[in-house]
Structure 1
């Protein structure tokens, strides 16, 4: 897939996450909330706010990447559920959340957004989670 020459990551996403891996169409970010295995898929397409804004071939590749990552998350963490959602109320740049949910997590069964403040990883925890996830790709 050809890179969008004017794509840049929204500053809020950059502040709230670290790059996990870049795949064919998307950058994958690990969100800085140690309570959840929470990834954000950011298709590298400037100006896109919704999946429908992408060209059909890119949209298909984004969905294939999402399916691949869901399978990786299922194998690595065995969650009770994986929530996949594009919301965009705070950050309008197209990004798709992939959150492993467990029946015993602090917010189950409620959505994680806007309920309580994030609990940032320590540096050691963040690096360990990134390493564990990167080993899956």
Structure 2
């Protein structure tokens, strides 16, 4: 994976809760380490950015493109019913976008995934299989 942009520092909570998957251009694509939901994170590599409107117009366009690409790939890889895309930033202010595959009957359906139960980390082999499915879909 490419190196991070000079001056960019990934928030420690994102670093601890997710695994790097690949570099897309503007964003580092990461997998949230919670096997209850296929859950990806896009983290724009821009120092000090906390809001979408803090990005330049070009970066906003790139983020939209990369978010759509990841959402389509996640849906293709999982066959899920719905894709949730969100950028909250209440706990981790660094700009990042969640892309989550949802299905009826998942642990939080139809409610939000945030704050629902305890995170269930992937077994290593299962994480590698999921990462490979996403890479193939992209």
Same fold judged by TM-score > 0.5?
yes
Query: 2: CA distance between counterparts of 1:14 and 1:114?
Result: 19
Query: 2: CA distance between counterparts of 1:85 and 1:73?
Result: 15
User: Offset at 1:78?
Assistant: 1.9
Per the alignment, residue 50 of structure 1 pairs with 51
Worse overlay, 123-132 or 54-63: 123-132
User: Offset at 1:75?
Assistant: 1.5
Please, which runs of 5 or more residues in structure 1 have no aligned partner? Answer: none
| CA deviation map 1:71-122 (0-9, x unaligned) | 1112121211111000111111000000000012111001000121111111
- Give the TM-score, by structure 2 length: 0.93
How much is the aligned-residue C-alpha RMSD, in angstroms? 1.1
Moved over 4 A (4+): none
Per the alignment, residue 16 of structure 1 pairs with 17
| CA deviation map 1:39-96 (0-9, x unaligned) | 0100001111111110010110110111111111121212111110001111110000
SS in 1 for 2:137: coil
Per the alignment, residue 101 of structure 1 pairs with 102
SS in 2 for 1:21: strand
- Give the TM-score, by structure 1 length: 0.94
